[in-house]
């Protein structure tokens, strides 16, 4: 079997899908994307196709090594995301060729189902408690929320207390048999993190995600040691070498993204490294159905999985949602906050190719925020 073509599709709301064709008619799908840089990642996939066309799709590790290391300039989110989507598609082909799910190729399932969480708002605070109750009524047992808009390096008491009040309102609305993860998108400085997080402790967050930007990952240990709240990070770390900077700093959860951090092959290694430190894995995935399917395939075979993010109904997905590109949306039918073991071959989903081809593309860009004085603020 030989690879014959790699084709990328920019699909709404902000995703990039990859189709890999073979001369035996087996097709694999992947999701190579950096949100807001989808065109750039698609161009990187096109460059990597020069190496892949004509080669055996089943020598996945050899391709991973060459694609990540074969260029003199290595690493970074664009290359890693391009490789991630290709890697997903090659695992999809391998599973389809053998008639088994990818989790079977990874050593078999260690669980029957995976707990998932859903998103609500919070960074432009409005009705977060009501949104959390709605998710609870839909059957979810956990949500993730932002708790702040843009912040000053050391913000006012009012801004600090506003964060606490939003989390407190959600806790009061959903009760104590429900988990609340709080995402800061790197908006806290070290000083603000040390001020804010102890005040959130009475509300027992499931975890606090990315309190600091990844550029100062070497200081996240200071945050972990200053609070009893589990600290999670990793959506903007792209390899096991990036994660090496944070694994021994007392964090509780790593969050590699299957579409950013080198795909199935690399996230498996990141998860194994985390397991040796008693750190759980909760893959980042506010993306499309292919990325979610790849995340679940890894999760079913990963002992230290905690929970899986998924994007159904997330605020980015206006006009096109997670299930719109699937032949059978029931594969992601959540029951009591869980998704059942995927049984289909490869990634376990069937892409609606007509829907993909009808997609008009996109040029999604993330917002750019400013502080009160007009300087740049983390979004």
Query: CB atoms < 10 A from the CB of 366, how many?
Result: 12
Q: How far apart are CA 285 and CA 255, in angstroms?
A: 9
Residues in the chain: 379
The reply to whether 260 belongs to the active site is: no
Q: Which residue has the tokens 């985390």?
A: 274
Buried b (16+ CB within 10 A) or exposed e, 201-233: eebebbbbbbbbebeebeebeebbebbebbbbb
The secondary structure of residue 329, as a DSSP letter, is: G
Residue 5: beta bridge partners? Answer: 21
Q: How far apart are CA 231 and CA 254, in angstroms?
A: 9
CA angle 329, 331, 334 (to 5 degrees): 95
Active-site entry in 39, 63, 260, 284: 284
Q: How far apart are CA 116 and CA 368, in angstroms?
A: 29
Beta 231-233 vs 253-254: how paired, if at all?
A: parallel
Active-site entry in 39, 185, 260, 362: 185
Helix (H, G, I), strand (E, B) or coil at 2: coil
Q: How far apart are CA 82 and CA 243, in angstroms?
A: 19
Of 249, 250, 256, which Cα lies nearest the Cα of 281? 256
Q: How far is CA 204 from CA 118, 176, 208, 365, in A?
A: 18, 9, 10, 33
The reply to whether 185 belongs to the active site is: yes
Q: Which residue has the tokens 């995927």?
A: 342
Torsion angle of alpha carbons 225, 230, 231, 235, nearest 10°? 160
The secondary structure of residue 230, as a DSSP letter, is: P
Residues with catalytic roles: 185, 284
């Amino acid at each position: 079997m030989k690879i014959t073509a790699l084709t990328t599709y920019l699909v709404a709301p902000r995703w990039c899908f990859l189709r890999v064709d073979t001369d035996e008619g087996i097709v694999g799908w992947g999701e190579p994307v950096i949100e807001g840089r989808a065109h750039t990642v698609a161009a990187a996939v096109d460059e990597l196709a020069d190496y892949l066309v004509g080669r055996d799709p089943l020598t996945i590790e050899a391709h991973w090594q060459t694609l990540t290391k074969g260029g003199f300039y290595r690493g970074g989110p664009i290359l890693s995301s391009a490789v991630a989507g290709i890697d997903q598609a090659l695992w999809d082909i391998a599973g389809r060729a053998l008639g088994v799910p990818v989790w079977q190729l990874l050593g078999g399932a260690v669980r029957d189902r995976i707990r998932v969480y859903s998103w609500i708002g919070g960074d432009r605070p409005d009705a977060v408690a009501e949104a959390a109750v709605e998710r609870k009524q839909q059957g979810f047992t956990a949500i993730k929320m932002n708790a702040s808009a843009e912040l000053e390096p050391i913000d006012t008491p009012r801004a600090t207390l506003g964060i606490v009040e939003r989390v407190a309102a959600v806790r009061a609305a959903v009760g104590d048999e429900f988990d609340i993860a709080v995402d800061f998108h790197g908006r806290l400085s070290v000083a603000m993190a040390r001020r804010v997080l102890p005040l959130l402790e009475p509300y027992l967050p499931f975890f606090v995600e990315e309190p600091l930007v990844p550029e100062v990952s070497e200081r996240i240990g200071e945050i972990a040691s200053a609070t009893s709240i589990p600290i999670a990070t990793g959506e903007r770390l792209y390899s096991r070498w990036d994660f090496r900077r944070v694994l021994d700093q007392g964090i509780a959860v790593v969050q590699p993204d299957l579409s950013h951090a080198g795909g199935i092959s690399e996230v498996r290694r990141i998860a194994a490294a985390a397991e040796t430190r008693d750190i759980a894995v909760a893959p980042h995935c506010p993306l499309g159905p292919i990325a979610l399917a790849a995340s679940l395939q890894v999760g079913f075979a990963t002992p230290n999985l905690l929970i899986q993010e998924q994007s159904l109904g997330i605020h980015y997905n206006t006009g096109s949602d997670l299930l719109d590109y699937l032949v059978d949306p029931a594969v992601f039918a959540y029951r009591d906050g869980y998704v059942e073991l995927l049984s289909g071959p490869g990634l376990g989903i069937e892409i609606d190719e007509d829907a993909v081809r009808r997609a008009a593309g996109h040029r999604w860009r993330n917002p750019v925020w400013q502080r009160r004085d007009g300087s740049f603020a983390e979004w």
